[in-house]
């Protein structure tokens, strides 16, 4: 099973990919996680990516594709993988197609998690982060034991700048403009499946499984 998860910030791409990765026994590949791991290990790709990030620049698509291709060649990816939030643009989708062809792989589907804007804002604006250990909380769904204080290290929790409601709206507009051509690209290839991502983790997971006639026991 090789899937791409699309959706706006806060739609639950990472959550669904993580849950289904464990159930289906295939890796969950997030570009952010891969970049952090390459940097931690001090690999050539990691050092190249760090150079761009240190200058405040986006990591080029080609470097991301090289990193993804290297990861997909590993033995644990031979039965499939779940791509979380990648590709994000049409050019990335085209580069991904070339990479898959070189590897002899094919996408089974692209899952687009649809969540209304008010729900996205509620999810993200309620998020709080520990600046010390980076643990994430949510005021409604996953609050700390003591309000405003990290359970693990006792640091004062903060709200990230990009989790402010007005910033979230700007991020959503940017996502929509970037992703509209990508949605059409996968629709034309009959790969796109839209799933309601606003009904809770469990129900959304069941919807995704139903698309492919799969269940946790299969």
Catalytic choice (47, 160, 173, 189): 160
Task: Compute φ and ψ for 196, nearest 5 degrees.
Answer: -70, 110
Q: 200, 208 in Cβ contact below 8 A?
A: no
Catalytic annotation present for 88: yes
Burial class (CB in 10 A: 0-12, 13-18, 19+), 67: buried
Is-catalytic flag, 98?
no
Are the beta carbons of 61 and 90 closer than 8 angstroms? no
Tell me how crowded residue 198 is: count the other CB atoms within 10 A of its CB. 17
Which residue of the set 13, 71, 123, 128 is catalytic?
13
Span between the terminal Cα atoms of the chain, in Å: 12
13 is catalytic: yes
Do 149 and 36 meet the contact criterion of CB atoms below 8 Å apart? no
Q: Which of 122, 123, 127, 128 is catalytic?
A: 127
Annotated active-site residue 171? The verdict is: yes
Q: Which of 31, 13, 40, 107 is nearest to 70 (CA)?
A: 31
Given the residues 39, 135, 171, 206, select the one marked as catalytic: 171
Rounded CA-CA distance 105/84 in Å is: 17
Q: Which residues are catalytic?
A: 13, 88, 127, 160, 171
């Amino acid at each position: 099973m090789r899937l791409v998860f699309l959706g706006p910030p806060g739609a639950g791409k990472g959550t669904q990919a993580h849950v289904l990765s464990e159930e289906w026994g295939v890796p969950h590949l997030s570009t952010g996680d891969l970049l952090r791991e390459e940097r931690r290990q001090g690999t050539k790709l990691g050092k190249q990516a760090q150079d761009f990030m240190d200058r405040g620049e986006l990591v080029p698509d080609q470097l991301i594709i090289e990193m993804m291709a290297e990861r997909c060649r590993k033995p644990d990816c031979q039965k499939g993988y779940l791509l979380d939030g990648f590709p994000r643009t049409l050019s990335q989708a085209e580069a991904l197609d070339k990479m898959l062809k070189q590897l002899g792989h094919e996408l089974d589907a692209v899952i687009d998690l649809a969540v209304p804007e008010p729900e996205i804002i509620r999810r993200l604006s309620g998020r709080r982060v520990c600046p010390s250990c980076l643990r994430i909380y949510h005021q409604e769904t996953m609050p700390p034991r003591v309000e405003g204080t990290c359970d693990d290290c006792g640091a004062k929790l903060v709200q990230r700048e990009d989790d402010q409601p007005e910033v979230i709206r700007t991020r959503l507009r940017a996502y929509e403009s970037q992703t509209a051509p990508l949605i059409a690209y996968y629709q034309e290839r009959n790969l796109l499946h839209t799933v309601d991502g606003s009904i809770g983790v469990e129900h959304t997971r069941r919807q995704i499984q139903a698309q492919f006639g799969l269940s946790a026991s299969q």
